[in-house]
């Protein structure tokens, strides 16, 4: 049998501790309730690091995490070898890949799969933009946008930010274009 003696100061401390625990639990549940529909910006900007890529549907899911829709009927896969020795241009290319949190530094001299899929939203009649994903043993190791026929390479994050900025500017212009009829006198 155990006997606990609780003095008045200990009882006050226990009560204060219980009150703090209840307040903390209430704030956490309120935060979960009010944030139920929101998604953090970083969660939509970067797909999970442990994503396995085995099919074209996995590629579509990966690029959807960055806000790009791809045409799966145009998807193609090739094998390419990452060079052992990097020149300045390939080091700059690796920096573009670094925007999406990926790097080819650990894959020098290895063969990777290069998955490409057309991004219809970024393509127009003159240029086609392709979402490119480099995969090593079902693990994404590089991702970028390739514009053809120019061959320009763009990082996923900077392209997504540019699209968001353009959409905001378009929405602002559309809002400014609509006139408030209440300021005009009616006859």
Where along the chain do its domains lie? 42-160
Global confidence as pTM:
0.62
Q: Are 46 and 65 in contact (CB under 8 A)?
A: yes
Q: Is the pLDDT of residue 120 over 80?
A: yes
Q: What DSSP letter does each residue of 31-50 carry, written as one string?
A: HHHHTTT---HHHHHS--TT
Both tokens of 41, joined, read 């910006």
Output the CA–CA distances (angstroms, integers) from residue 76 to 50, 114, 127, 129, 143, in the order listed. 22, 8, 18, 14, 15
Residue 121 or residue 49, greater confidence:
121
Model pLDDT, residue 38 = 40
Model pLDDT, residue 169 = 74
Predicted confidence band at 41 (pLDDT cuts at 50, 70, 90)? very low
Which range has highest mean pLDDT (76-90, 146-160, 163-177)? 76-90
Output the CA–CA distances (angstroms, integers) from residue 5 to 1, 8, 11, 14, 110, in the order listed. 13, 10, 10, 13, 69
Q: Is the pLDDT of residue 67 over 80?
A: yes
How much of the chain exceeds pLDDT 90, in percent?
A: 8
Residue 8 or residue 80, greater confidence:
80
Q: Is the pLDDT of residue 117 over 80?
A: yes
The mean pLDDT value for 35-46 works out to: 43
- 3-class SS of residue 157: helix
pLDDT tens digits, one per residue of 127-168: 888 989 999 998 999 888 888 888 888 888 877 787 777 777
Model pLDDT, residue 164 = 75
Q: Is the dihedral of CA 10, 15, 21, 24 positive or negative?
A: negative
């Amino acid at each position: 049998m155990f006997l606990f003696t609780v003095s008045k100061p200990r009882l006050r401390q226990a009560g204060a501790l219980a009150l703090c625990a209840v307040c903390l639990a209430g704030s956490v549940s309120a935060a979960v309730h009010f944030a139920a529909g929101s998604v953090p910006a970083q969660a939509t900007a970067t797909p999970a690091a442990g994503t396995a890529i085995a099919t074209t549907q996995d590629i579509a899911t990966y690029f959807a995490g960055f806000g790009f829709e791809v045409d799966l009927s145009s998807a193609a896969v090739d094998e390419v070898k990452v060079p052992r020795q990097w020149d300045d241009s390939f080091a700059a290319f690796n920096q573009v890949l670094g925007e999406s949190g990926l790097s080819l530094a650990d894959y020098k001299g290895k063969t990777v799969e290069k998955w490409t899929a057309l991004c219809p939203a970024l393509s127009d009649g003159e240029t086609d933009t392709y979402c490119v994903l480099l995969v090593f043993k079902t693990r994404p190791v590089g991702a970028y946008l390739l514009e053809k026929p120019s061959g320009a390479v763009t990082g996923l994050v900077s392209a997504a930010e540019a699209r968001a900025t353009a959409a905001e500017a378009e929405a602002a212009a559309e809002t400014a274009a609509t006139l408030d009829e209440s300021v005009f006198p009616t006859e």
